[in-house]
A and B are shown apart, each in its own frame.
Chain A
């Protein structure tokens, strides 16, 4: 019986990260962009867990906990910003929020 190899886990983490990055770059809805950031953070956490599991150390899970706290804080502030943007501009489309264009 062979376990999960770290190469496959890291490959999955990279693929998930790229999918999240593509979503962040392609989508123009603020909520969808926040979701893509969540996907990318989750992929980074998966890489840390895989490395921690490969060497049998707890450090990988510690860093995953920190990523979790970071994601929670980021989502709280980000969604507050989305609400504020929607109240002021009545849209969550980032292409229409171009008031700073010179």
Chain B
């Protein structure tokens, strides 16, 4: 049964990723990318990596995709923005991602109600993950924090407005 759930969610992930690649509009591609990440999160859940599944939904499908939405919206400032948004979210656009999301939700409800998800896989608990993270991997965690700090400073520096525009 777990294998069936895995194959369905893998199919959803592949279809939505393919739609990301072939979509012309960035916002439509973003909708499908979120579905793809949610399907990956469900696969992590099936593999017994519960903490990674939660992080996938919160950080990948939540925080990083919100960054993409912000930048796409900032790049489209202008008079035609409202018309564009109207044309972006016609029912034909969100029907595909909504159907895929509904399939994922049905799978998740089934897996949770039958209570056997990750049953015979090796479930890696959050406790052992935390012990590994702050035991042998402590130096790596520090390096990752330095990387995030560097990314923060770099993004702030790059995001500043131009001081003087060269007029030609």
Contact = CB atoms under 8 A, between A and B. Distances in A.
Contact of A35 (B43, B44, B68, B155): B68
A73 B150 CA distance: 8
A4 B124 contact: no
B75 interface: yes
Contacts of B152: 73, 76
Interface in A75-102: 75-77, 79-84, 86-88, 92
Contact of B133 (A36, A65, A71, A76): A65
A42 B40 contact: yes
A2 B2 contact: yes
Interface residues of B, number: 67
Nearest to A46: B40
A76 B155 contact: yes
A37 to B, nearest CB: 11
Interface residues of A, number: 63
Contact of A31 (B3, B56, B68, B131): B68
Given A73-B151, A75-B64, A9 B43 contact: yes
Contacts of B161: 87
Contacts of A57: 124
Nearest to A66: B144
B67 A79 contact: yes
A66 to B, nearest CB: 5
5 contacts: A38-B60, A58-B128, A72-B64, A72-B148, A79-B70
Given A75-B67, A76-B151, A77-B154, 8 more contacts: A1-B1, A31-B71, A56-B122, A65-B52, A70-B144, A73-B152, A76-B67, A87-B161
Interface of B: 1-3, 6-7, 10, 13-14, 17-18, 20-21, 26, 29-30, 33, 36-37, 40, 43-44, 46-49, 51-52, 55-56, 59-60, 63-64, 67-68, 70-72, 74-75, 116, 119-122, 124, 128-129, 131-133, 137, 140, 144, 147-148, 150-152, 154-159, 161-162
List of 8 A-B pairs having minimum Cβ-Cβ separation, nearest first: A73-B151, A80-B158, A56-B122, A76-B155, A23-B21, A58-B132, A53-B47, A69-B144
